[in-house]
Structures are given as structure tokens and as C-alpha cells.
Amino acid sequence: MTLALSYTVVRELGHLVQLSRNHTVVEASVGKIAERLVSNDYVKIGPSIFRKFICTSGCRACCRSFGPLTLDYVPGEVEWTRLPLDVKAKFEERSIWVDGDEKAFYSLTKPHSSCPLESSTGCGVWPNHPLACHASARIQISKYVDTTMVLKKKGFSRTWRWEESAQCVYTEPYEWDPVELQRDLHILDRYDFWASYFGIPTYLHEIKTNLVESYLLKDVIPFRRQS
């Protein structure tokens, strides 16, 4: 089994561990790929999360250039239940071991330079696209310093290696757009569902509450979790 067949699920599990409630260590493995996922000491929300993201019409840079990886859903995920049967038939049921428990998920390998879900008009399954596609340009969970993980909104890195240039547009912080807030909360809801499915307790509820309160006050309320 190659890295492409397992990278995305392990990566998303790593994100969930970084948002976990206490100092957490999760042993995860898919096929021959095994990871020891360890949470950081701090989680914080960066001000860039309040920027507005605009996906430029006609741009397919991330669909065609991002990869190789897997496109994945977990059982019971609303977006999975909404997919047509002919699309579901393209996916393979695989499993991942998380702290000794076997968990099934649905996976489709995405090669570099193409996407098996792409249609002549763009994403063939939008707005029910996989979590990796949904979150990648909108909410990123990345290491800021050795002990801190930050939720932020930023463009892709190393796009100079892509065959097509990404045309993502980001406004300055503090747009306070209610539609943007709902879109961000939807992504965090999906992460929350994954966390529940894989049995990882996280601070996602508090993070979502923080975003809503910041929006209502039109001011960034600092959020910082310390183990």
C-alpha cells in the first residue's frame, strides 16, 4: 500500500489530535503506514481565520495539482450519504487502526494532475466534496512554533510547483461576513464528526463558540488552549 492510499486520513487524524483536550498520543495505522500522532501544548485561533475566502470561478488548480492523496469520507457523514450511487461505487472501503480499534472509511485515490471526481463544469460532487477538498484552502491547522498549533485561513504553499496557478482570493481580516462564518462552521462541524467517529475528544466545540462570539461582538476574542 502506497502513501497515497493512506496519507489523507492519517493527516486529518493528526489535525484532530492537535485540537484534542489533553496531551494526547494516538497510534494510527493504515496498511504499512503507521504514525504516532502527538498533540502540541497549545492551540490558538489566528486572526486570519476571519478573512473572507473566494474561490475564483473556473479555477481548478487544487483539483488538478494537489496530490497525490486520497479523497475520503467516514460512515454516516452527511456529504457521503448525499453522493449518487454511481459515485459511491468508485470508492473502496478501507480501514484504519486508531489506538487498537479498527475504523472503516471510504476512500478514492487521487493521482497528481487530475481528479476522478472532476466534471466538465468543475467538481462533480460539490457541495458534497471530501473534507480534504472542503477545508484545504479555507481552514488550515498548522504548526506555528514547536509547541503551538494555529487555526488560520491562508493559501496553499509551494504552488510554484503546480501545473496551474491557484487563483484563491483572501480579503483582509475582520470581514465579519455571516455567510463566511457559516461556511467555516460547517467545516469545523465536519471535523467534529470525524473526531467523534474516531473517538478523539477535541476543543472544537469551544473553538466554534469562540468564532460565533467573535462574530457577534465584531472583535476577535482570543482563544488559546493550554494542556
pLDDT tens digits, 119-156 = 887 889 999 999 988 998 889 888 776 678 888 888 77
Q: For the chain, what are the domain ranges?
A: 3-221
* Average pLDDT value for residue range 102-130: 88
pTM of the model: 0.90
Q: Please tell me which residue, 1 or 120, carries the higher pLDDT value.
A: 120
What pLDDT sits at residue 82? Answer: 97
Regarding predicted confidence, which is higher, 79 or 22? 79
Joined together, the cell numbers standing for residue 181 give 462564518
Q: Are strands 25-30 and 92-98 parallel, antiparallel or unpaired?
A: antiparallel
pLDDT at res. 144: 73
Residue 160 pLDDT: 66
Annotate the chain with DSSP letters as a single string: --GGGTHHHHHHHHHHHHTBSSS-EEEEEETTEEEEEE--SEEEE-GGGGS-EE--TT--HHHHHS-SEEEEE-TT-HHHHTS-HHHHTT-EEEEEEETTEEEEEEEEEE-TT--TTEETTEESSTTS--HHHHHHTT-EEEEEETTEEEEE--PPS-GGGSSS----EE--S----HHHHHHHHHHHHHHHHHHHHHT--BSHHHHHHHHHHHHHHTSPPP-EEE-
- Calpha distance 224→227 (Å, rounded): 10
The pLDDT tens digits for 184-219 are 999 999 999 999 999 998 889 999 999 999 999 888
Out of 21-25, 91-95, 200-204, 217-221, pick the least confident: 21-25
What's the pLDDT score for residue 103? 92
Q: Tell me what the mean pLDDT of segment 78-86 comes to.
A: 96
Nearest to 5 by CA among 91, 76, 79: 91
Question: How do residues 24-38 score in pLDDT, each as one tens digit?
Answer: 788 888 777 778 888
